[in-house]
Every structure is written in C-alpha cells, then in structure tokens.
A = this chain, B = another copy of it.
Amino acid sequence: MLRGIGDDAAVIRSSPGRTLLLTTDLLAEGIHFDLETATFEDIGYKAAVANLSDIAAMGGTPRYMLVAVAIPPSRTSAEVERLYRGLMRACRPYKVELVGGDTSASRHGLFLSITLTGFAQAGLALTRDGARVGDLLYVTGTLGDSLAGLNLLVTGRKRRIPAGGGSNERHRQYLRYLVDRHLHPTPRIKEGQLLATHRLATAAIDLSDGLSGDLAHVCEESGVGAEIETTALPLSPACRAYAAASRTDPVRLALTGGEDYELLFTISPGNRAKLDRLAQRTGCRFSRIGTVRPKRFGLRLRRGNGSLRRLAIAGYQHFQDLRTIPQGAAWSR
C-alpha cells in the first residue's frame, strides 16, 4: 500500500507472480440487512464478511478495503462509527486495511458499498468453471445455521427459542450459536488458501445465496450437473435441534439457507486422500456432499432411501421474505 484515504484513488503496489482479486457489494437497508434484527456493528461486520468470503472463494488473501456509505438524515454519526467498527473488527484477523471510502447522504435508508482487493498466486486463483464430471462435491463447515439464526432473530424475539428436548442451558447455547453464525459468520479464508496452494479444488464458490443456488452457479459455469446426498449434508447439533423443535426439515435449511459463507468446492476423485490428510493436519472441516454429474443429469438430490428427486433452485432472499411468512409456516412444510 502506497497511499490510502485522502486522495482521489488508493495506490497499491503490485508484485510479480501475484494476480489482483477485486470484488464489490452494494447492501441496502430493508433488503440485505435490517436494523431490527442487527446492530450497526453487526451490519458492518457481516458486510465485510460477505466480501472477505468472495476472496476466500478465489483462494486469495484479502488486503485492502474501500467503503462507501449513504446515510439517511435519521442516522447519527455515532451509528456510522459503530458500522465502521464492525467492518474493522471483521477485517482485523486478516490484517485487511481500510484504504478509502466515502460518506454521503441518502434520502431513504442506509446503503453500504464495499470494495475489497486481494491477491492470489498467479495461476492458482479458484474459479467456478473447472468442475468436471466425476469430481467430488465438498463443503466446509456446517450448513443452515445462518438461516436458523435469522429465523430465531425474526420470530424468536417474541417466541424465544422453540421448545424441545434437552436442558435449558444447552438450548441457550444453541440459540447463541445460531444467532452468532447469522450475525458473525466466518469467511473461510484459510480453507480457500489451502485449496488453492495445494491445487486441490477444480472449482469453488462461497455460499452466500444457499447451497442449491450457488451449486447451480458452479454447474452452469462448468457446464455440468450434480448429485447431492442429503444424508451427507453437514449439520450442526444446534441446527438439528432447531429443526426438530420447529418441525423444519433440516435438509431444507441446509439447501436453501443463505449467508452461511461456507465454501462449496469440487476436487478430482484422485485427490480425496490428499484432502483428508490436509483436513486432519489443519483441523479444517471438509464434508463430501455429492458428485459432479453430466449436464443432462441436472441437479438432483439422493435421499437416504436411495430415491432421486430434482433439486428446486430458489435464490435466497436474505431476511426480506421471512417477514411475509406466517410464523412457523416456513419451517413446517
């Protein structure tokens, strides 16, 4: 970094052997975030993670962030400061520097635009288009936690956590875990870098829209189909407990829940043992969830009983649709 805030543009030194990664996001109040279910600090934190996660999905190292905020008259400068504090808190573990940005007025609602640069070793950036028929499908971490956490935030403020088996203390732990997974997701920077530097992933994407939607992106870019084994989907104990208590299909949470910010990636079958060893050595969680199929196969789910059915692809609508769903209805279908 040669120059940052205080000039017309940030000036960044480039290094031989490295390619620049560049990603941008525009987040709108009432669409991507909601001040009833998240604080300003939460919003800043998650906005940063959404961009950090894009760099993770490329196997890169995030580096410089530019932020622009449009602020409605009803908001105070203290609130904007809290937003920046959340942004910086999310960036700190990765030593990402805030190098520029802009604050302006908005007539209605808060808008937040983030641009993040990163670097990858030349030729090693992970892309969406390299999945080949026969490759194995993997995800990092666990799925569906963020959607469960969001639903608890939207409905739980009134209803508290749904009743179910187990102790009250464990329920409180689950509640905290799911809400935290929604408000403070972890960008899988380390996992993405490992997959890139070990040349393991043939394709990768981060799960911002939900597994079914993001898998569709990879399949489209790679010109392939895919089969997901529902019994292989990694679910946290908290998500399972939430699903049981709210009579929700946990597979549905895992498939449609957005904002998990886990990585979905494919590897050649010959690299399976290598990936397992890497997981053991690094403590990273990689779960095999299916197989890449020919394009004509489409996207299908294999149920525990062996039956196959077509995967419905619904883009994740962040929090906004939940508002219009009667409480509980979303989980009981």
Q: Which residues of B contact A14 (CB under 8 A)?
A: 14-16, 18-20
Given the interface pairs A108-B109, A113-B68, the reply to whether A10 lies near B31 with Cβ below 8 Å is no
Instruction: List chain B residues, Cβ under 8 A from A3.
Output: 125, 127
If A14-B15, A20-B12 touch, whether A26 touches B108 (CB-CB below 8 Å) is no
Knowing A3-B127, A70-B111, A115-B66 touch, does A23 contact B8 (C-beta < 8 A)?
A: yes
Report how far A118 CA is from B68 CA in the complex, Å. Answer: 19
Stretch with Cβ within 8 A of B (4 or more), from A52-60, A132-140, A234-242, A278-286:
A52-60
Contact call B11/A113, Cβ cutoff below 8 A = no
Tell me the interface secondary structure of chain A in the complex. Answer: strand
- Binary contact readout A126-162 vs B (1 if CB under 8 angstroms, 0 otherwise): 0111000000000000000000000000000000000
A100 touches B24 (CB 8 A): yes
List 25 A–B pairs whose Cβ atoms lie within 8 Å, in order of A's numbering. Answer: A6-B221, A7-B58, A7-B127, A8-B23, A8-B55, A9-B21, A9-B22, A9-B116, A10-B22, A11-B20, A11-B22, A14-B15, A14-B18, A22-B66, A23-B66, A24-B24, A26-B26, A26-B102, A26-B113, A28-B106, A28-B111, A29-B107, A105-B320, A108-B109, A113-B113
Tier of interface size on chain A: 35 or more
Question: Do A115 and B24 touch (CB < 8 A)?
Answer: yes
**Is A247's CB within 8 Å of the partner chain B?**
no
CB atoms of A107 and B107 under 8 A apart: no
